[in-house]
Amino acid sequence: MKTEIVDASPAGIERAASLLDSGELVALPTETVYGLAADALDSNAVARIFAAKERPSFDPLILHLPGLDWLDRLTTASGDPLVQALAAAFWPGPLTLVLPRRPVIPDIVASGLPTVALRMSAHPVFRAVLDRHARPVAAPSANRFGRISPTTAAHVLEELDGRIPLILDGGPCAIGLESTVIAVHDGTLELLRAGPISTDAFAAHAPVFCTMAGAAIKAPGQLASHYAPRTPLQLLTHVAQADSWPAPPNTGLLAWSRSARPRQFSAMEILTPRNDPAEAAARLFAAMRRLDALGLDLIVAEPPPPSGLGAAILDRLKKASAPR
């Protein structure tokens, strides 16, 4: 199969929507990362996502709503005041809510779980395609399983060339990190994946519990090794450590901010010259990909400041550095 990249013009949007209509896959930009979309209510179309990504069937997908009017058709919790409040505060945007699912959602989307992950993207191109398709789509990140999420159309091509017919190019993703995933329980919230919306933002609505280090894995985004470059990656505990460290040969540095770097590193990427976590988030996955393409023996990463968006970046770096 030939994979085409097309601009997100009205004609491109129309082509993407008609591919979705006929049960095909398309890669679409969202404000977080590129997603690999299929009609969520068509099991055969959704099965193609698992095949193209080589994703294990136990890892459930995120279902993206064309509009709020779909909420009640997809979950029995649409009347829950906490769900209403979160949807009003954060949708459209980088929040995914895990809620009890209705039978209209095929088992394959939810990997047989009684719950489903729901999100509404704010990206104008994504929304235009969903408006035209007029049905929800299932869309995980458009990378092969376990690899770095794509934040440009070119990254999607690196991951899925020959496996999907179309990539709609909406430019680089503004946020660059996958959505925050929250399970809504009886009046409390459970953080399943740290993301662009930090836990502080939810505290006004309900108590937030963080069970990510717990025994049972509820979201495979919680799997230790994820978002991983091919090159081994090690995470320093302090930013200044790279200065004094006699790094082994052929080592690259994923620097947080400062530019005065010791010569012993063969390559370097600076995540945020402005020392701004939002800038670092937007550049993180592209920088990891560039270092990964250099044939280094090791990548050493400096840690971000551990609060807010920094916590979500730290989560991705820890997963990239986990033993595989």
Give contact residues for Mg ion (rule: CB under 5 A): 141
Binding of ligand TXA at residue 197 (CB under 6 A)? no
Binding of ligand TXA at residue 119 (CB under 6 A)? yes
Q: Least CB distance from residue 227 to Mg ion, whole Å?
A: 8
Rounded Cα–Cα distance for residues 199 and 231 (Å): 31
3 vs 257, beta carbon nearer ligand TXA? 3
Binding of ligand TXA at residue 139 (CB under 6 A)? yes
Applying the rule CB under 6 A, the residues between 29 and 88 that interact with ligand TXA are 30, 32-33, 35, 59-62
Which of the listed partners (Mg ion, ligand TXA, none) does 220 bind, with a CB threshold of 5 to 8 Å by partner kind? ligand TXA
Short-list 182, 221, 230, CA closest to 86: 182
149 vs 272, beta carbon nearer Mg ion? 149
Contact between residue 138 and residue 62 where contact means Cβ atoms under 8 Å apart: yes
Binding of ligand TXA at residue 110 (CB under 6 A)? yes
Binding of ligand TXA at residue 152 (CB under 6 A)? no
Which of the listed partners (ligand TXA, Mg ion, none) does 33 bind, with a CB threshold of 5 to 8 Å by partner kind? ligand TXA
Residues 6+ apart with CB under 8 A from 133: 17, 20, 21, 39, 66
39 vs 178, beta carbon nearer Mg ion? 178
35 vs 310, beta carbon nearer ligand TXA? 35
Q: Least CB distance from residue 28 to ligand TXA, whole Å?
A: 8
Q: Least CB distance from residue 147 to Mg ion, whole Å?
A: 9
Parallel, antiparallel or unpaired: strands 115-119 and 95-100? antiparallel
Rounded Cα–Cα distance for residues 145 and 310 (Å): 24
Residues 6+ apart with CB under 8 A from 321: 233, 234, 235, 301
CA 257 to chain CA mean position, Å: 23
Short-list 119, 110, 125, 101, CA closest to 46: 110
Q: Least CB distance from residue 173 to Mg ion, whole Å?
A: 13
Binding of ligand TXA at residue 147 (CB under 6 A)? no
Q: Least CB distance from residue 155 to Mg ion, whole Å?
A: 13
Rounded Cα–Cα distance for residues 312 and 140 (Å): 18
Q: Least CB distance from residue 36 to ligand TXA, whole Å?
A: 8
268 vs 322, beta carbon nearer ligand TXA? 322
Residue among 77, 116, 182, 228 that touches ligand TXA (CB under 6 A): 116
252 vs 310, beta carbon nearer ligand TXA? 310
What's at 293, amino acid-wise?
Answer: A
Contact between residue 1 and residue 163 where contact means Cβ atoms under 8 Å apart: yes
Indicate the residue whose CB is closest to Mg ion.
141
Percent composition of the chain: helix, strand, coil (DSSP 3-state, to 5): 30, 20, 50
Contact between residue 180 and residue 96 where contact means Cβ atoms under 8 Å apart: yes
- Lookup: tokens for 226: 């994820």
For tokens 């095909």, the residue is 24
Question: How many alpha carbons lie under 13 Å from residue 15 in its C-beta half-sphere?
Answer: 17
Binding of ligand TXA at residue 141 (CB under 6 A)? yes
Q: Least CB distance from residue 257 to ligand TXA, whole Å?
A: 25
Count CB-CB contacts under 10 A for residue 106: 17
Binding region for ligand TXA (CB under 6 A): 30, 32-33, 35, 59-62, 94, 96, 98, 110, 113, 115-117, 119, 139-141, 178-179, 181, 192-193, 218-221
